[in-house]
Each structure stands twice: as C-alpha cells, then as structure tokens.
A and B are shown apart, each in its own frame.
Chain A
C-alpha cells in the first residue's frame, strides 16, 4: 500500500510548538485517516463483552472507515470493512446485533462471520441468462479484513500488517495500568455519544493534558477533589503515543496556597456539596490512586475517576468535528452499594459531567480561536520540551508525546 506524501511541511523541530493548520487542513485530515487510523496503529473498537457469543457483532469506525467486529463460530474475533464487495454499500446497518451471516441489502451478496464472500444472488443468472462471468471467483472479492487483538476485555483492530503486537505496542507500563482498572469482566452501565465541534486531536491533547485538569475543571478544585499540588504524575510510553496519568489520594493542601498565590479562578473556597454522597469514593483497587486517565494512540481513553469507570472512543468526523463515544461500566460482581456509587459518580463525566463538560466546549474554543491562525504556533512548553514520564502533573509531557508519535506516523 502506498501512503501519500505528507501534505505540508512541519514548521519547527521542537515538540513544544504545533502549527494550527494541523487542526484545520483538509488534505492533512485525509492523510491522517490513511496514515494513522488505517495505518500501523491499534484502534479501540469495542468491549469483548459486546461480542461475547458467536455471531455477536458491533459496527464502528477506524477513523472514518466503517468496520464490523464479530465473534466467529470458532470463538475468535474477526473484523472487516463494513463495505460490500459488489457496489460498496454498508453490509451491516445496526450498531450491534447477532447474525449467522451478513447479507448486503442492495443485491443480497452474503458474507460469513469472517468477512468472506460466500453468496452472490443470481450468480448463475436466471433461466440460463445473465449472471456473473464464469471467471468470477468469490474468494477474490470481499471487504478488507482487519487484524484484531484484545487485552483485559478491550478489543482493538488494525488494518495494517505492520502494527506490532498489541502488548508490545502499548509497552509494559501502559499495559499494567490498563490491567489495574480492568481486573475482571465488565458490566456496561450506559453508552452516550458526545458530538464535539473540534478536530479530533484537540480532544486527544486535552485528555493527555494533565496541566489543565484542575484549572479548567473548577468543580475538582472547589470541591477539593484534586489539585495540581496533589501527588501524582504522568507516564508516557516510549514512542510518545500512549500515556497514563495518576492522582494520588489527597495530600495535605488544606490552604490551597499555591492556587491563591497565583490568583486562580480554580480556587473558590466555601463551596460545599448539599449531598456529599457523590464523592463517597472507595479505594476499590487498593493502591491509593484516586484518578487515572490513560490513552492509547490514536483513539482510546480509559478513565478511573474515583469509582467512575469508562472507556471513551474518539471518532473523527471531518477536520472540524468529532464524536466521543462513552461507555460507562462497572463489574459483574459489584455490590448494590458499589453499583449505586458508580451511577452517582457518573455525574462527574460524560456530556453533563461536573469535571468533563468543559472538555466538550474548550476544543471548540481553540477551533474558533485559531480560525485565522493556520500558520501560527501553539505553545506546549510546560515541563520542558521532552516527552518523558514526569512525577508531576504540572507538565505537558504527554501532549508532546502525542506530537512525537503523530509526526512519526505522518512523516513530519
């Protein structure tokens, strides 16, 4: 497969500067779909529990490429492009379902659960007339097949034969932090989609940006859930693309002095909850980490905010828009009290989340703010210029890590 040349020249060497055209340029966006989402990466596609039994399937996207993920008769996971080999119509129309085989509605071409073309309607014609030429070989036609890999109940897919095995792709440190949260079979509690008015990378950067959390999300600080002055840090994978940030149980910072010294909006005292049961968090993992946000390049977020657990899938929808698909979950053996705790803490996240609703609009603020600034540069300098793990969250190391991986994939 040939990959198109990078459509523009990257203006600077340092990871600490990013040109704004990267969020706007249509040619660059098309190149991203090819080089990143359809390239040598693992895209998160669904939970294993979504496709638990033979024939269970889900449809989703690799970037904008529609795909089907299905559990085969053999118990293995299969994934293939959701595109009929005949005229290109979608093969499966529902988000999820159970099938013995797939049949395109347009001309009834049929596929097995591995994506092999097994039936062509009127292949031999009708009354000896028409039909496909004798030379037509079904095995030579079919939607493109993807590789799949699963880890701790998460399913990833890749179109490229060059993608390293999933565990090597993640690296040991990130893999361990995935396993830390997903330690037993999950139970889905809800699914919502948030449409964001910004380029997909602005959201991915936002999730990786440990610096903004307690400054933009003032719910955290006013209710003293987290401050940058709390213990924690950020792990960045060697290639830069993945990260995990952690916030430890609160240290004594009752004065909020660091915030007040700087006159930050994020420090407003005297704001108490009428019903503090929202923040009744149990250290269910038992390691004192109150909050962990983890990303896998390019489209996956795993979140543990107290007892609120969720995965988020980033779906690009053109250069200036994206969707964020949220799946909230608990575990099959949650006690009724833990189940209720998760429902309450779900208020913290999602489209109406106390500590995430701002992330829904701030990407749009950048998209609009930079409308005339294609050739200007964004400053990503907190904590230096490198993309190494740091024992502080007052850094943009993991954002620079993203650009390190992005530029490598894009040839910038």
Chain B
C-alpha cells in the first residue's frame, strides 16, 4: 500500500510528521539533511502569492533536482556571505487535498521568524507550502514543494531555505 492509498485521516499525521522533521532540520542548522526530504526527481521553488496567481514561473529559489538542493546548501556553507542568522518555523496543520498523478496533494501554512546574530527577531516570511508527496524508498517525500510566500517583498536577503 502506498501513501496515496491511505485515507486523508491517516495521511494527516504522516504529512505533519514530515513537516515537523523538515522544519527541525532547517531550524537546527542541519541543512545537509534538507535535500533528503525530497524524492528524485523533485521540484522546489520559493515564490510569492502574486507571482503564483499570475502564473509567473520564476522563483527566488528554483531547483528541479536533489542535486540543485545540495548545491544550494554547499553554496551557503562555502561560497555565499551573509550575517549569521537562524529561522524558527511554525508550521500549521496540513490540509490533505486529494491525489494528483500518483502523488498526495497537501497545503500547509507556515510562519518563519528570522533571528539575527545581534538578537533582532523579525517575522521574515509567512505563506503556504503547496506539496506533492510520494512514497520514496518507504518514506513520504516531496516530489514537489512550492513555497508560496504571502508577500513578494523580502528583507535584505534570503539565504536559508524556507
């Protein structure tokens, strides 16, 4: 039996647990674990509600392979320059919205606080994850995660993934 055969009520705790693990990996600065939450192939994109609504396809981050996700982490660790900062994700309850092409469709609201090295805490992003989830090696993984931020405006820079 695969994830898409499960009734929504059974999927809810599975998707919630995946979201919790995903958020902890990022907030605990275990970014190297982040690509592992995705199936292969996969799509990960950070966009905004306005771009999403208008059908503008470009994201501020766009990856269509786990390799591109690993490259993002490698660049953050070794190449990119930004002040030390961390996120705290608050992830809401997922809504299980049925099945698309063999994947479970879910939508989950999130809120991310950014904590800067000097102690400044800002509400950095709010939005919703539009996900397609599949069984990948016996575990639930993202085939697609479109991060739709409510605002199109980003403060200073976006380094750590949402």
Contacts and interface: CB of A to CB of B under 8 A. Distances in A.
Per DSSP, chain A at the interface is: mixed
A344 B153 CA distance: 21
B62 A357 contact: no
B58 A343 contact: yes
Contact of B60 (A192, A216, A340): A192
Query: Interface residues of A toward B: which range?
Result: 35 or more
Interface in A251-283: 268, 271, 273-275, 277-278
A111 interface: no
B152 A352 contact: no
Contacts of B59: 190, 343, 346
Interface string A206-247: 000000000010110011000000000000000000000000
Contacts of B60: 192, 346, 350-353
Contacts of B67: 273-275
A193 interface: yes
A197 B75 CA distance: 23
A194 B70 contact: no
Interface in B25-82: 46-48, 50-51, 56-65, 67-68, 70-72, 74-75, 78-82
Contacts of B51: 190-192
Contact of A342 (B58, B70, B83): B58
Nearest to B158: A352
B155 A195 contact: yes
A354 interface: yes
B119 to A, nearest CB: 15
B82 A190 contact: no
B157 interface: yes
B157 A194 contact: yes
Nearest to A363: B156
B18 interface: no
Contacts of A362: 81
A30 B61 CA distance: 36
Contacts of A189: 56-58
Interface residues of B, number: 36
A42 to B, nearest CB: 25
Nearest to B35: A274
B152 A193 contact: yes
B159 A346 contact: no
A112 to B, nearest CB: 27
Contact of A357 (B47, B57, B80): B80
A361 B83 contact: yes
Contact of B82 (A222, A271, A343, A361): A361
A361 B157 CA distance: 7
A277 B74 CA distance: 16
Contact of B152 (A191, A196, A339, A364): A191
A253 B113 CA distance: 43
B82 A358 contact: yes
Interface in B139-160: 152-159
A219 B83 contact: no
Contact of A271 (B79, B156, B159): B79
Contact of A194 (B62, B72, B154): B154
A197 B156 contact: yes
Nearest to A328: B58
B62 A347 contact: yes
Interface of B: 46-48, 50-51, 56-65, 67-68, 70-72, 74-75, 78-83, 152-159
23 contacts: A189-B57, A194-B153, A194-B155, A195-B153, A195-B154, A195-B155, A197-B155, A219-B75, A271-B74, A274-B67, A274-B70, A277-B65, A278-B68, A323-B153, A343-B58, A343-B59, A347-B61, A352-B46, A352-B61, A352-B154, A354-B80, A357-B82, A360-B157
> Which 9 pairs show the lowest CB-CB distances between chains A and B?
A275-B67, A190-B58, A360-B157, A274-B67, A189-B58, A351-B154, A352-B158, A193-B153, A357-B157
Given A218-B81, A347-B62, 5 more contacts: A190-B59, A193-B154, A195-B155, A347-B63, A353-B60
